[in-house]
Amino acid sequence: MSTHFFMDWGDTLEITVVNQIITDGVSMHWHGIVQKESNTMDCVNGITECPITPGSSKIYKFLATQHGTSWYQSHHAAQYGDGVLGSIVINGPASLNYDYDLGPLPITDFYYKSTYEEGLLSVTKDPPKADNGLINGTNRNPHKTAGAYNHVSGPVPGAKYRLRIINTNYHSFQVIQTDFVPIQPYVTNTIFIAIGQRYNAIITADQTPSNDRFSAIVPRPPTQKGFGCGQNANNGSINAIFSYQAAKTRVSWHEKSVPEHEFVWPTAQELVVTGPGSNSLPKAPAPYIWSINDTYMEIEWGKPTLQYVAQENKDYNVHQSIIELPDANV
C-alpha cells in the first residue's frame, strides 16, 4: 500500500511519478477522476499515454473538480495487485455533519505470490484464490501466527466519525456518499462493495465502550460455476478493530455476514472455448478468454489511442475495440 493523498476540493494536483522498476514500465491512474480538460492525465497506458520507462519520470497535473474518496493505482499490467496503489481524499461538503474524519479504509485482496506469477498460473484455470484480505494494509494471517489487525482507536462515546470505505458489527452507520456522488443518507449495517467502489459513512460511537470488529466478507458463489466476487483463503477473518476510549483490551467476535439469499446472482451459459486441433502437437488446455465485442483486446503501449485522435488517424486495429461517437451531446 502506497502513500495516501489528501487535498481540498478545487486544488490543483501536481504529482511526480518516478519509475524505479528496472524491468517494467509504469502508468499511474487516478480512479474516478473525470479529468475534464486534462484527458492526457487519465494515464492508462495504451489509451492516453505510453508507459513511463524504467528510470524515467512524469509529472501528472490536474484539477480536483470532485470531492470525496477514491484511489490511485498503477495501470500497467497487474502491478497494482502487488501494492502499487493508495487512497485519495478530496475534502468537500458532506450531506451529514460529523465530528472526526477517520480517513480512508481500503479493503484489498493479498496474494503471497506476485501477480505476474499468479497471472501465468491462472491462464488455463480459474482466477486465483487470494491468500488473505487486508483492511488498511493489515490483517492476521489465516493461521493467526503473524500479522496484526488494523485498529481504529480512540473513538469518544457519542461522537460522530466519518469512515471512508474503499472496495461494523453492533454499529449501524449512515451512508452519505458513493464514489464521488453525495447521496441522501440512509442507515444500514452492511454494504456490498464492488471492485473499485467507495462509500463514505458516518458511524456514531453510541455503544458501551468496547473493542468491536469491522469485517469484510467475500461473498461465495452459489455453485462452482457461479458468479461470486472471488475466493479468499481467509474469508470470515478479514477484520479491523474499532476500539473506544477506555475500552478493555479484548476483542469481541460477532460472526455474521450478509446471507447469500440477499444477493442477486446473474445467470449465463458456460462459455466453452474451442480451437483447431493439431496432428503434430498435443492439445493444450483451453485458456480463459476475456473478450470485448467478440474479440480479444490488444493494447499498443507504444501507440496509445489518443495518438490516433491527435493524428486524425482512423485506421484502428480491430483488437483495440474502439467505438466512435462522432456527435457531441447526443
- CATH code of 138's domain: 2.60.40.420
Beta bridge partners of 63: 12
Report how far residue 308's alpha carbon sits from residue 9's, in angstroms, rounded to the nearest whole number: 33
Q: Is the pLDDT of residue 258 over 70?
A: no
Q: Compute the Cα dihedral for 67, 63, 56, 308 and give only its sign.
A: positive
User: pLDDT tens for residues 156-169?
Assistant: 778 888 888 866 45
Report how far residue 157's alpha carbon sits from residue 207's, in angstroms, rounded to the nearest whole number: 7
Position 240 in a domain: yes
Position 279 in a domain: no
User: pLDDT tens for residues 49-61?
Assistant: 999 999 999 999 9
User: In what order do the strands lie in the sheet containing 5-8?
Assistant: 5-8, 85-91, 68-74, 28-30
The kind and range of the H/E element at 7 are strand 5-8
Position 232 in a domain: yes
Q: Which domain holds residue 223?
A: 94-269
Position 83 in a domain: no
pLDDT band at residue 330 under the 50/70/90 scheme: confident
User: pLDDT tens for residues 28-51?
Assistant: 999 999 999 999 999 988 999 999
* Number of domains observed in the structure of the chain: 1
Distance of CA 187 to the CA centre of its chain: 24
Q: Is the pLDDT of residue 245 over 50?
A: yes
Position 295 in a domain: no
Beta bridge partners of 88: 5, 70
Question: Is there a contact between 218 and 133 (Cβ–Cβ < 8 Å)?
Answer: yes
Report how far residue 195's alpha carbon sits from residue 309's, in angstroms, rounded to the nearest whole number: 30
Report how far residue 317's alpha carbon sits from residue 304's, in angstroms, rounded to the nearest whole number: 11
Q: Match 457531441 to its residue by C-alpha cell.
A: 328
Percent of the chain residues topping a pLDDT of 70: 79
Position 165 in a domain: yes
Position 88 in a domain: no
Position 294 in a domain: no
H helix runs in the chain, sequence order: 115-121, 305-310
Can you give the C-alpha Rg of the chain in angstroms?
A: 22
Report how far residue 97's alpha carbon sits from residue 87's, in angstroms, rounded to the nearest whole number: 22
